[in-house]
Amino acid sequence: MRPVLCIRNDRDDTLGISAAVLGEHGLPIVRLDAFDARAAWPDLEEISGLVVFGGEMNVDQVDRYPHLLTQRRLMWSAVEAGLPVLGICLGAQMLARALDARVYRGPIRELGFKPVRITEAGRRDPLLGAFTSGDRVFQWHEDTFDLPGGAELLAAGDDVPTQAFRFGTRAWGVQFHFEVDRAGVEAWLRAAEPSLKRVWNRSAEDVRGELQTHLEAQQERSRKVFRAFAEFVQTPTARS
């Protein structure tokens, strides 16, 4: 079977639980480091699905990070071709931008576990239906985006309204980091430690305390999300 392409935009990103869960369902993955100038970008015909992960840059910083434009075009082409597409955090913002939505600095910076509200469309969604209103999900972002035209809002937040959407039947953008594991968050904390308090008004110990309380429950739901995504990849025409 053709692999799922998993794109990293952050050198410290572990991809969380995604690789393990997709692997459990028989899906091979290929990891591509977008920031590596030597990265070999595959053609759509070589992959069966696309997952784009987070990063600290803004989606429109294409002069500084030209690989963002490459990804945006790839995501749009994958949507057009009917491949399952999943964008997480920066990946969700890039999917929104590829669909001509505005991406901009949010009203607040979000770091830590925040509650979300699942819409009626979200409750019916095969992926986001794994979550229920009031569930706390891990956030680490400062940008947000408008809901793309023709997309359905699946999850909303009190401070940052657009938290998850679906475009068509096979493309999802999720602002929050439902994929994370403890090792991945620890790597981000180490990288951000010098500016964590000043920029994010949080301490590493605050975040670790929230991980202890909320991570296990999030991962249980997140495994359901990745399992559902795997089903879309393995049955490409069943739900289109």
Residues assigned a catalytic role: 89, 177, 179
Q: Which long-range contacts (CB under 8 A, 24 or more apart) does 1-4 make?
A: 1/26, 1/27, 1/28, 1/48, 1/234, 2/46, 2/47, 2/48, 3/27, 3/28, 3/29, 3/30, 3/46, 3/47, 3/48, 4/28, 4/29, 4/30, 4/47, 4/48, 4/49, 4/50, 4/51, 4/233
Give the Cβ contact number of residue 203 at 10 Å. Answer: 13
